[in-house]
Amino acid sequence: MAPFLGSGDSRSSPWWMEADALRSASRGLATAVEPFDVVVIGGGMGGYVAAIKAAQLGFRTACIEKRGVLGGTCLNVGCIPSKAMLNNSHIYHQAQHDFARRGIDATVSLNLPKMLEAKVNIVTGLTKGVELLFRQNKVEYIKGSASFISPTRLSISPILEAPEDTPTEIEAKNIVIATGSEVSPFPGGAITIDEKQIVSSTGALELKEVPKKLVMGSVWSRLGAEVTVVEFLGAIGGAGIDEEQGLKFKLNTKVLSAEKKDGKLEADVVLVAVGRRPYTEGLNLEAAGVELDNRGRVVIDDQFTTSQKNIKSVGDVTFGPCIAAAEFLKTGHGHVNYAAIPSVVYTHPEVAWGLKYKIGKFSFAANSRAKTNLDTEGFDPGVHISDQCGRDDCGGVLAVEYGASAEDVARTTHAHPTLSEAFKEAAMAAYSKPSIYVLDRAGISFPSPLVRHI
């Protein structure tokens, strides 16, 4: 479920300010006599979707969020702002290094404050859009932090931005824990993150100038930084990620510490990206009888139910994708096909993958659309490795969902010329012979006479 984006030109009309007028006059807050049907703790991607869906299914619903804005890590300091920076840095890099061969003569310069401002505007529009969705679906938005008093009662500590009538305690028949995750500290505490020179993924999106040398970070490489990636394992997490993109790699290398002084690996900024951990601080889960596993994750069953039957949990605070919790509350059942959930690494080219598969490869150097775009990096191995696989892998996911074979995909007509044809050709190579369009290692391709141009 995507955030509501609104219509019109948001650059000239801040629609979310006008949307404030839609707040219901009969807002009302639950009392001890009038408990909510569902209360969701956390307004991130798992939480706000669960809250809206619960309201649409007829439950009287509230969502508690202490950040002061909805959307959680993803919309505020994760997926969305990072993709804004990835896209805009890619355009800048393309203008510097690729325009000339396309017949475009231009001189460009980086305006980093404006690029950061664009990122903020995108985030603001999306988070305000989620607030509007709450109002339209009659989800009570409570600005504060929650703590369990019992399995059905919560204590609320309002934040400064909260309305004066924010309740300090609420009762709920069902509660969904969706508090997400936080940046994992460096093991042993040998590196202290200050979000200025030693940064997490959050601080990496807020640097005020392009560092000359940076440990980790493809965005800043495109903007001119010399980037070195230090990895304990012997490989980076995705095919197609290599030094051709200008990144230097130190694999099979263990980082022991980082100090702000001369060292073996010099850098102006160090990005510490050792993972994330479940966030349960202050929830007082013991009072609710909610169990955690040895990694601090909320323990759930296949219906997202915790050790307390009226409390469910979704998202990064537990394990598994956060899907269908509201449906379980309403009907007692829901459908989640874990085999059809894709994963994407947003490098360039992008990488997407899913379950185990038989490999059939097709190079984008032999794809007509990729050639016309002058963007032939990567290949399609049945999963996607392309500049748009985060958008285009839906065909593969749909095939998995409906049990289609590689032959089914290969026998499906794809529009020409499109990048999706590479997926068809890779599927053909997986069950039959390699594509007829590749004549040699140079990847010469010809348009198929069997596919109509669109």
Bridge partners, 227 (sequence order): 214
Cβ count within 10 A of residue 52: 23
Closest by CA position to 305, among listed 176, 441, 395, 397: 176
Alpha helices in 361-414 (DSSP H): 368-372, 389-392, 394-401, 406-410
What's 65's DSSP letter? E
Catalytic residue among 348, 384, 416, 453: 416
Q: How far apart are the first and last CA of the chain?
A: 30
Rounded Cα distance, 134 and 131, in Å = 5
Instruction: Give yes or no for a contact between 344 and 68, defined as CB atoms under 8 angstroms apart.
Output: no
Rounded Cα distance, 436 and 428, in Å = 10
Q: Is 416 a catalytic residue?
A: yes
b/e for 203-213, b at 16 or more Cβ within 10 A? bbbebeebbee
Residue partners of 331: CB distance under 8 A and separation at least 6: none
Closest by CA position to 259, among listed 305, 197, 182, 346: 197
Rounded Cα distance, 352 and 374, in Å = 21
Positions of E strands within 267-404: 269-271, 276-278, 311-313, 343-345, 350-353, 362-363, 379-380, 385-386
**Would you name the residues annotated as active-site residues?**
416
